[in-house]
Amino acid sequence: MLSKLGEIERSLKHLLLTDRRAWVASFRMMEEVKKQQLWKPGYSSFSNWLSTISEATRIHISVLWDRLFAGEYYLRFEAREARAGRSAPSLEKARLGVEKLKYIFRIAGGSAERERDLMAKASEGILTGTALRQTWKMEREERRLSGRAVGFANGYERRNAELKPDTVSEAPLSPRTDLILALARTPSWLPGSSIKPYFQDGYELFSELAVAPGRAFVPRFDALAAESVTTRETGRVALHGFAVCASTQDLERLQNLRAQLDFVDFYWLAATEKALESLGTLPDSWDAAGILALTDQGTLTVKKNASALHPLLRSVALEAVLFQSIKKVRDTAAGKKWSSRQPLP
């Protein structure tokens, strides 16, 4: 058994030092050691063995745990699909990264239907990592406001408690989260857009964005998008603000959101079709706003085009978008720093 463990250790260390992005192959090796308990009797626990791998490769142990969690999570999903008579691509063919799987697990929140939808769209490239991250941000806030559990107390709880159940409920997500997910997924709903594969990088959605912190008269945007899909000038972006309405209570907030129109080029009311039925006629002050409806299929349709605005405070919103973009790059770089250390000589 020790010789087999030694062979896996040599292969795993070589892989981690030479190709740090090949997470599926490294997961398969770690899974074999854990499942067959190959770490015995040389180590007191699997965690202890994994710590030695982390130290030898100078890859933070949280990166290794995340890979193990992501791989086990997908294998459980694959097994559930097989029992239900459905097929799912193998982990090697699914084209899903660790971060995507982590966000899918969080967003699905126990909904088997939502999990299948997210897995399929993420695997096909329809859902980007950015879209999933923004969706989780909104869902996390929804859970916090409703008093539900937001996340995990610590890594041990996530790895052990959350991986045990083998059944998944069919509880749906909130309509607001569905709306944010649809907005973050693709800019194809934009009037006048010509979606090409390379346009995906020309659309970025920011949920729960405060463009003027400290100014009580400007509530934070439910979502704000910066895009270059519809602009014809090189280097120019258009700013779209969104009021996300999934219930009559949300519609009552509209009178407090009027100030947001001074910050963006276009403003949209994004609502479920059911909420739109209760909306009635918008006040005259909202004539310039467009209306987006979320269909039962999870796609957005334009019910009314948004008129171009002439926002006096556009530069303030653009600064907020720039700050969030810089923050995202910084956070991404900080995360990569843990997993890309050079090996000791």
Same domain (yes/no): 155, 289? no
Greatest extent of the chain over all pairs of C-alpha atoms, in Å = 77
What does the pLDDT look like over 184-210, one tens digit per residue?
776 777 776 654 444 445 788 888 888
Amino acid occupying residue 258: R
pLDDT digits (tens, 9 = 90+) for 75-100: 999 998 998 888 889 998 888 989 88
Q: Is residue 65 part of a domain?
A: no
Q: Could you tell me which of 167, 163, 166 has the C-alpha nearest to residue 34?
A: 163
Give domain status of residue 191, yes or no: yes
* Beta carbons within 10 angstroms of residue 313's beta carbon: 18
Cβ(270)–Cβ(242) below 8 Å = yes
Final residue before a domain boundary, out of 173, 202, 220:
173
- Asked if residue 156 and residue 97 are part of one domain, the reply reads yes
When mean pLDDT is compared across 25-39, 69-83, 116-130, 278-292, the lowest value belongs to: 278-292
- pLDDT for 201-260, tens place per residue? 578 888 888 887 666 566 788 889 888 877 776 678 889 999 888 776 776 777 677 788
Q: Are residues 183 and 315 in the same domain?
A: yes
- The tokens for 252 are 């009552």
The model carries a pTM of: 0.59
Determine the pLDDT at residue 74. Answer: 93
Residue range 35-56: average pLDDT? 89
Of 216 and 17, the structure prediction assigns the larger pLDDT to 17
End of a domain among 173, 188, 213?
173
Convert 158-181 to b/e letters by CB count within 10 Å (16 or more is b). bbeeeeeeeebeeeebbbbbbbbb
Average pLDDT of the chain, as a whole number: 77
* pLDDT tens-digit series, residues 250-293: 767 776 777 888 899 999 988 888 777 776 666 676 788 888 88
Same domain, 288 and 164: no
Range of the domain at 20: 2-59
Q: How many domains does the chain have?
A: 3
User: How high is the pLDDT of residue 120?
Assistant: 86
136 torsion bin: left (phi>0), alpha (psi -120 to 50), beta (else): alpha
Structure tokens belonging to residue 267: 């403003």
